[in-house]
Structure 1
Amino acid sequence: MAGKRKTNPAGSSNELRGDVLRVLGVLKVATADQIQRIASPHLSYRHTDKPTESERKTARTAAHCGALSDLRKHGQAENGGRTKQAETLRNLTPRGLEAAAEEMRRPMTEMGGTARGAGSSGGSHAMAVNETIIAMLRPKPDLKLLTAEPAEAQAAARAVVDASQCAFSSVLR
């Protein structure tokens, strides 16, 4: 375990770093919140015991922020500016783009470029595109991962799953 901590001081797992690489490999620039909502939607319903939305957001994005920190240490990710809401924008370096290509099992020729400079103006267009993608994906939470969470968190996640199943069944009619 000591070797892992020296290599990844924020303690992120390979799986979490892989999540971040896959999301940024496609979106190119995103906030930790957007990465979390795509890669781990079940976390959106946790931490209901925190008194403010800001504290809930900080708690649910902590693991992905740690993965981003470790990727930064390895020269694969960087902070690329701030949104107008003062959230840090994250993007991959050329080295990170190579790692994302490997993670996604795609040739580098299909990966596109890095998003350097996207955050210099707050990334408003990129953030709008990301939110549209998240809305289209509508990632459903894995209810099995919420069994230890409070009843209100489980109910909120269940409502999202039920709503998406209703929407899907109405399309089939």
Structure 2
Amino acid sequence: MLGVLKVATADQIQRIGAPHLSFRHTDKETPSKQKQVRTASHTGALSDIRRHGLAENGGSTGTGETLRNLTTKGLQAASWELRRPVTEMGSTARGAGSSGASHPMAVNETVIAMLRPKPDLARMTEDPAEARAAAQAAIDTPDGIGTIASYWTEVPLPATGT
């Protein structure tokens, strides 16, 4: 996902990659605690790829959420996954979080709204009925448009000429 979005929070990655988690943990007392629990595995995974030099913490949003972006090595790995030449991957998003990354965050939220990731009810068999009902309501909405890979925005430009 970071190969397409360039910079994202663990919450945004979770909502795209594991939307069923968005409906869990309704027993937690605050939305903040719910978010912390549902993004814990993604935060851990991001820490792991950071340890391997594929991603880095890239600042924070205006609300204090940590932003993650790929390193050059991470962009190379993403190019393989996305089956695109590394020359078309664009650059790393270093510095995007220094000012809160309001534009990238708005773009990411737009992508999520257009994708409309659907939760997998089979992964929610142990969850409370109200969580399954909320997930079913999301499933019943119209399908989104495209896949995460269809939202890459980097385009190669000629190095010479006008």
State the TM-score, normalizing by the size of structure 1: 0.80
SS in 2 for 1:91: strand
Q: C-alpha separation between the residues in 1 aligned to 2:141 and 2:84?
A: 34
Aligned residues: 145
Counterpart in 2 of 1:55?
A: 33
Counterpart in 2 of 1:140?
A: 118
Counterpart in 1 of 2:140?
A: 162
SS in 1 for 2:28: coil
Shift of 1:151: 0.7
Equivalent in 62, 79, 86 of residue 84 of structure 1: 62
Bigger fraction of residues in helix: 1
SS in 1 for 2:59: strand
Structure 1 position 25 matched with structure 2 position 10? no
Q: Which amino acid aligns with 1:88?
A: T
- 1:1-173 superposed matches below 5 A: 23-164=1-142
Q: C-alpha separation between the residues in 1 aligned to 2:16 and 2:67?
A: 15
Q: Which amino acid aligns with 2:138?
A: V
In structure 2, stretches of 5+ residues that fail to align are: 146-162
- RMSD, matched Cα: 1.5
- Percent identity over paired residues: 70
Q: C-alpha separation between the residues in 2 aligned to 1:52 and 1:79?
A: 26
Q: Which amino acid aligns with 1:154?
A: R
Map Cα deviations across residues 5-63 of structure 1 (whole Å, 9 max, x no partner): xxxxxxxxxxxxxxxxxx10000000000000011111101111111111110111011
In structure 1, stretches of 5+ residues that fail to align are: 1-22, 169-173
Shift of 1:103: 2.2
SS in 1 for 2:98: helix
Shift of 1:109: 1.9
SS in 2 for 1:78: strand
